[in-house]
Every structure is written in C-alpha cells, then in structure tokens.
Amino acid sequence: MKNKFLFTILIATLCFFLNVNSAEAQTKQVIPKKDEKKVTPKKDEKKVTPKKDEKGAGDDKVVGKDEKGRTIYEGPKGGRYYLNGSGNKQYIKDKK
C-alpha cells in the first residue's frame, strides 16, 4: 500500500512539472541575442534611369533646344518651359 501511494505521488509530481514546462514554453518570447544580426533578403535592385526630358513634360509639344542644350517644351496655353535637374518645369520669360 505504501508503494502505491509513493508511485501515485511520483506520477502526480511528474505530470505537474510537465504541465508547468509546457505552459512556460507557450508563453515564452524568443528574444534575439545582441550578437546575432537579422538576415534580411536583398531585393532585386532595378537600375532604371528615367529620362528627365519626358518625365514632367507629359503630352506637351517639343519646340526645340536652347543654347545650353535643354529641351524646350510648349504647354497647352502656349507657355514655354524646360525641365530643370530636379524634373520641375522652369518657365521661360518672353523677350519683349
């Protein structure tokens, strides 16, 4: 009778520790070590060179080039401009 009692206590204790360990494993957060570096896959870098002359001009008509070699466009209302290095329109003042 004493052996059955000890065996039951042993089994109960073992089950208790197994349940505690499994509960800790479910709630434990994995914290990366400071020495480990995160490996991120590199994205395929596409080398695309946008054409600055066509970027901001849209459907505007090409009129010609100025003395500096910049392409001159004419807008829908008749204004003339060129695209600067940033791709923004720089309107040309009329010479009167």
User: What is the per-residue burial (b if ≥16 Cβ within 10 Å, else e) of 50-68?
Assistant: eeeeeebbeebeeeeeeee
pLDDT for the residue numbered 33: 66
Q: Residue 25 pLDDT more than 60?
A: no
Q: Residue 48 pLDDT more than 60?
A: no
CB 17 within 8 A of CB 48: no
Q: Per-residue pLDDT averaged across 28-37, rounded?
A: 64
Confidence of residue 18 (pLDDT cuts 50, 70, 90): confident
Confidence of residue 53 (pLDDT cuts 50, 70, 90): very low
pLDDT for the residue numbered 12: 80
Q: Residue 82 pLDDT more than 90?
A: yes
Lowest mean pLDDT among 21-30, 32-41, 71-80: 21-30
Measured CA to CA, the distance from residue 23 to residue 29 in angstroms comes to 12
- Name the 3-class secondary structure at 71: strand
Its sign, for the CA torsion 75, 80, 83, 88, is negative
